[in-house]
Structure 1
Amino acid sequence: MPRKTHSDTQPIKQAAWFETTHWSLVLKAGHDSSPDSDDALARLCEVYWYPLYAYVRKRVGTVHDAQDLTQAFFARLIEKGFLHDVDKSCGKFRSFLLASIKHFIANEHKRDRAEKRGGGRQNLSLDFVPLDFEDAERRYCIEPIDTMTPELLYERRWALTLLDQVISRLEQEFEKSGKSVWFAALKPLLTAAPDAPSHREAANQLGSTEAAVKAAAHRLRRRCRTVLREEIAQTVTAPDQIEEEIQELFQSVSSEFFP
């Protein structure tokens, strides 16, 4: 019997891993809800609900309507059977969420919205998706939205939310290893901002050498790329969608951050 090479086993391991990513678990469960799929959907919604709110807020124009529609949408999302007809070939949670909210808003406009939204508020489990609208509105008010369509704003905010997740994970890793000071000094080196410090300035801040800081920054960037792909993997269903998602998302923020 021929021996399996690394190239033989790697696709199998990758495929097995993608069976347990958040979005894959949700799609696999479909209308037959399970604790694992419920937890996976809750995690995705908790992280990415603000991009959806920004889209709705930009589209409907008023705070009250945006909050009510967002709240009612998540109430509908967690109803049994809502995911039954999701096209598993679409692959991406980002695309699914945007298409779903567009469809939901279109339906709402055909009905008595006041009555419909009231029902949504009663059915929503805030434990499932904690919606902090006060914070969301503060964030929305500082968005550069004047020339953006709702779709562009959604894509931009999704990408920046993803980056926030990546940075948060990296910061936690440094904290666990007792190197929070190093992370604070190295974090600005991840960005393309013109005011980012030089390696020498970071070294002076840390009381270290420029060579050591360069090496640490290189390791951080490499780790950042890995974490970025891991986070994106939670929202897609196949490995080949990761690079595609990176290209699509970072067109709107590449001038600000690209690890």
Structure 2
Amino acid sequence: MTTAEGNSTFQPTRWTLVQRVKDACAGEAQEALNELCGMYWKPLYAYARGYGRSMEDAEDVVQGFMAKGVEKALFAAADREKGKMRTFLLTAFKRYLRDEHAKSIAVKRGEGKVDTMDIAAEEARWEDSDAEDPTLSFDKRWALIVVESAREQLRKKYYREGKEDFYEALAQCLTGELDGGYQEVADQLGVSLSSVKVGVHRMRKRFGEMLRAEILETIGEGEDPDDELKYLIAVLSD
């Protein structure tokens, strides 16, 4: 996939990796599957923690979901035509949590024990407290992954072009203004003030293109990437 500049190659992400899981040979498919699991571990962990699970319990349930997902070809069932990747994944995770809860109830009843967890109460817990909606926690972590992935692609692009110093000096402009101001950066790099201003404009433009390309790899066919971008920005600003 390329940016509007037409010469930036992106690493395989989201739907591209899903397609590899479905179509590639065993070795490449497993590699793509491992990468997908690595990408989505933190959002799922944030969701599990949002329901009050301990760190260890949240880790265990996410690991269990990922392991079962690999065994049951979770990502092979994903379909871009049906909507966003994050919606697909969270829906599957919720289903897994409910299934695991049902199993635990059956085991406890079989052992004559009383089950003390009400999953419906767990899902409604945050509504009666100051806790953040677990789905919002999931979306925030998701947004961070998308942003960091785009930022990493931008860094790689500048490094490939031999502009490491330029990137490191200007990267702050992606989240705010440059420390010390434009003139100080110009003096540091040994370039003109106008070169720094143009560089900042170009870097922000490139980052926007890469961020949009990353988002395109997470949404369904026909969905508007700009709407998703606005939502993710709002989530991070909340």
Normalised by the length of structure 2, the TM-score is 0.72
2:35 aligns with 43
Cα displacement (A) at 1:177: 2.1
Residues 1:23 and 2:7 are matched in the alignment:
no
Q: Helix, strand or coil: the match of 1:224? A: helix
Check the 8 A contact 1:27/1:86 in 2, yes or no. Answer: no
Q: State the Cα RMSD in Å.
A: 3.0
From 126, 130, 153, give the equivalent of 2:137. Answer: 153
Instruction: Kindly indicate whether the alpha-carbon contact (under 8 Å) linking 1:188 and 1:197 is maintained by their aligned counterparts in 2.
Output: no
Q: Distance in 1 between matches of 2:162 and 2:222?
A: 33
Which of 151, 157, 168 is 1:184 aligned to?
168
Which residue number corresponds to residue 228 of structure 2?
245
Q: What letter matches 2:148 in structure 1?
A: D
Distance 1:183 1:105 in 2: 43
Decide whether the 8 Å contact of 2:15 with 2:80 is kept in 1: no
- Measured in 2, the distance between the counterparts of 1:173 and 1:87 equals 30
What are structure 1's unaligned runs of at least 5 residues?
1-19, 116-145
The residue correspondences of 1:57-68 to structure 2 (distance < 5 A) are: 57-68=49-60
**Cα distance 1:211–1:85, how it changes in 2: closer, same or farther (>3 A)?**
closer
Which residue of structure 2 lines up, in the alignment, with residue 132 of structure 1?
Answer: none
Q: Deviation of residue 252 (structure 1)?
A: 1.6
Residues 81, 221 of structure 2: 8 Å contact kept: no
Q: What residue is the counterpart of 1:123 in the other structure?
A: none
Alignment of 1:169-180 (within 5 A): 169-180=153-164
- Give the match's secondary structure for 1:112: helix
Quick one: which of 74, 93, 99 aligns to 2:91? 99
Among candidates 189, 198, 201, match of residue 215 of structure 1 = 198
User: Gapped runs of 5+ residues in structure 2?
Assistant: 1-11, 108-129
Q: Can you list the C-alpha shifts for 1:43-102, whole angstroms capped at 9, x where unaligned?
A: 333223211111112224201210110100001111245456656543211111111111
Q: How far did 1:104 drift?
A: 1.0
Give 1:195-234 correspondences, 5 Å limit: 196-234=179-217
For residues 197-241 of structure 1, what are the alpha-carbon distances to aligned partners after superposition, in whole Å with 9 as ceiling and x for unaligned?
Answer: 532232233222210001111111111112112222222342644
Q: CA deviation at 1:27?
A: 6.3
Identity of aligned residues (%): 33
